[in-house]
Amino acid sequence: MRSLRTGLSLTSLVAGLALLLTAPAAHAADTPLRDLGTAKGKVIGTAVTGSKLTGAYGDIAGAQFSSLTPGNAMKWGSVEPTQGSFNWTEADQIVAFAQAHNQQVRGHTLVWHSQNPSWLTNGSWTSAQLGTLLQNHISTEVGRYKGKLAAWDVVNEPFNEDGTYRSTLWYNGLGADYIANALTWARAADPAAKLYINDYNVEGVNAKSTALYNLVKSLKERGVPIDGVGLQAHLILGQVPSTLQQNIQRFADLGVDVAITELDIRMTLPSDSAELAQQKADYKAVTAACVAVARCVNLTVWGFTDSDSWVESTFPGQGAATPYDANYAPKPAYYGIAEALGGTSTPPPTGACGASYSVGSQWNTGFTGTVTISCSGASLSSWKVTWTYGAGQRITQAWNAGCTQSGAAVTCVNASYNGTVPDGGSVSFGFNASWSGSNPVPTVTLG
Ligand code: G3I
């Protein structure tokens, strides 16, 4: 009995040690994005392809996200390729997966100028026929998922860049009120689903987003059911609009929810560490803007892995737009989202050594912190870790490192005896510091 207990504890000790050594290089932040989001009152979503929801793709989709959007499966061309003949297979599969993983589903999309079946786009319809077709489509699809979906992108991409209405099958055949009618029909088919208008290039304050703003305002004044606006956010590296938060806020002030519905941030290929670092900053900025406005309720990425993104086929030479690489390893962008949601783990953003910062015990005026430098596939003979405190914290004492603080900027270098971090190993140092008001975790940089 006694030797059995000893054997078990040795085994678990060895297992625990192995996990500690490999974890920093191998995997994502300690707390999944969906849980970080919950703590901030945000739903964190991804677009998915139903047929891929197994293996690593399914594991990540289920573990990290609290909302799924079918990337293509609920579009008219997917569900009714032949008039009167429906195919719900992939859409049903995604809804079932979401239910099994305690996730919301955002329905996408009911009224769009693209990805419609050819029988619809090639037909010649009177205005009355077109209206009936649209009403039946909405009643059928929304009705099928009644009570199961959190939200619908009812109308997708109704505007031109200058804020005029886009010339489409729907606008040309039915006039601008196709939007109000679609919303009304969707509400009738599922009173519980939140109803959205969704568009791209409406993230900042500009002519197009102002047209959307004016439309939502007038729909609300008319009593048309509209619950939210979707800002797609297909962005270009380094070009997060400076007015993003202000724009989210003005919609919130109109009395509607806001969702970031299709976030991706594309760059010139091949990606390099500077681009990936900029992408992290961009993802963090978008997430922070959503976190800053209570009515920004959902932040969804348009595919979580670079292997499942529309970007490379649409913009030749551009890509790497999502938070995970094509082999399902989290990129710096992943940690940008995590940090903006209050995540505390900062593993290697690039390269094979990295530093992470954690707060140990904390009392009313002070706290103890630990920084761990870990390497996998590389080693160090000396190290320097820097960070900037965001809320006036001050280091009072450090051990196993030499730390100096100038204003908010902290620099810590190795002691004479612990500069070496071997491949697969780690070194930690500790410190005491003062705080008041709040004690946010800073981003630490190894270098
Ligand atoms: O399913 C067929 C497959 O059978 C065929 O072999 C293959 C050959 O090209 O095409 C496959 O269909 C593609 C489909 O995605 C599924 O992968 C279409 O060609 C392709 O055009 C389609 O692209 C989709 C795009 O919308 C169409 O505009 C993207 O996956 C989808 O991510 C994208 O999503 C849109 C949002 O709905 C609205 N906002 C913009 C966003 C990006 O374009």
**Binding site membership of 356 for ligand 1 (Cβ less than 6 Å):** no
SS3 376: coil
What average pLDDT score do residues 337-348 get?
81
Residue 51: band (very low, low, confident or very high) from pLDDT cuts 50, 70, 90: very high
* Tens digit of each residue's pLDDT (9 = 90 or more) over 73-109: 999 999 999 999 999 999 999 999 999 999 999 999 9
What average pLDDT score do residues 125-152 get?
98
Question: What percent of the chain clears pLDDT 90, i.e. is strictly above it?
Answer: 83
Residue 353: count other Cβ atoms within 10 Å of its Cβ. Answer: 23
Question: What percent of the chain clears pLDDT 70, i.e. is strictly above it?
Answer: 91
The pTM is what? 0.76
Active-site amino acid positions:
157, 262
Residue 71 has pLDDT above 70, yes or no: yes
* Tens digit of each residue's pLDDT (9 = 90 or more) over 382-408: 999 999 999 999 999 999 999 999 999
* Tens digit of each residue's pLDDT (9 = 90 or more) over 276-310: 999 999 999 999 999 999 999 999 999 999 999 99
Residue 3 has pLDDT above 50, yes or no: no
* Tens digit of each residue's pLDDT (9 = 90 or more) over 241-256: 999 999 999 999 999 9
Residue 225 has pLDDT above 60, yes or no: yes
Residue with the nearest Cα to atom 14 of ligand 1?
Answer: 72
Q: Counting atoms of ligand 1 from 1, which one is nearest the CA of 47?
A: 32
End-to-end Cα distance, the chain: 50
CA of 115 to the centre of ligand 1 (A): 8
What average pLDDT score do residues 364-393 get?
89
**Among the residues of 104-260, which ranges form H helices?**
118-121, 127-144, 169-174, 178-189, 207-222, 244-254
Q: Look at residues 288, 311, 299, 291 and name the one whose alpha carbon lies nearest to residue 262.
A: 299
At residue 241, φ and ψ (nearest 5 deg) are -60, 135
CA of 234 to the centre of ligand 1 (A): 15
- Which of 134-143, 252-261, 361-370 has the least mean pLDDT? 361-370
Residue with the bigger pLDDT between 144 and 9: it is: 144
The per-residue pLDDT for 322 is 98
Tell which phi-psi region holds residue 211, choosing left (phi > 0), alpha (psi between -120 and 50) or beta: alpha
CA of 314 to the centre of ligand 1 (A): 9
Residue 57 has pLDDT above 50, yes or no: yes
Residue 28 has pLDDT above 70, yes or no: no
**Binding site membership of 114 for ligand 1 (Cβ less than 6 Å):** yes
Query: Which one-letter DSSP state was computed for residue 52?
Result: G
Residue 345 has pLDDT above 70, yes or no: no
CA of 296 to the centre of ligand 1 (A): 27
E-assigned strand segments in 237-312:
257-268, 296-301
* Residues shown for the chain: 447
**Binding site membership of 322 for ligand 1 (Cβ less than 6 Å):** no
The per-residue pLDDT for 346 is 59
Query: Which one-letter DSSP state was computed for residue 51?
Result: G
**Binding site membership of 71 for ligand 1 (Cβ less than 6 Å):** yes
Residue 39: band (very low, low, confident or very high) from pLDDT cuts 50, 70, 90: very high
β-sheet bridge partners, residue 152: 107, 195
* Tens digit of each residue's pLDDT (9 = 90 or more) over 174-193: 999 999 999 999 999 999 99
Q: Show the domains of the chain with their CATH numbers.
A: 28-340 (3.20.20.80), 352-446 (2.60.40.290)
- Which of 4-13, 284-293, 323-332 has the least mean pLDDT? 4-13
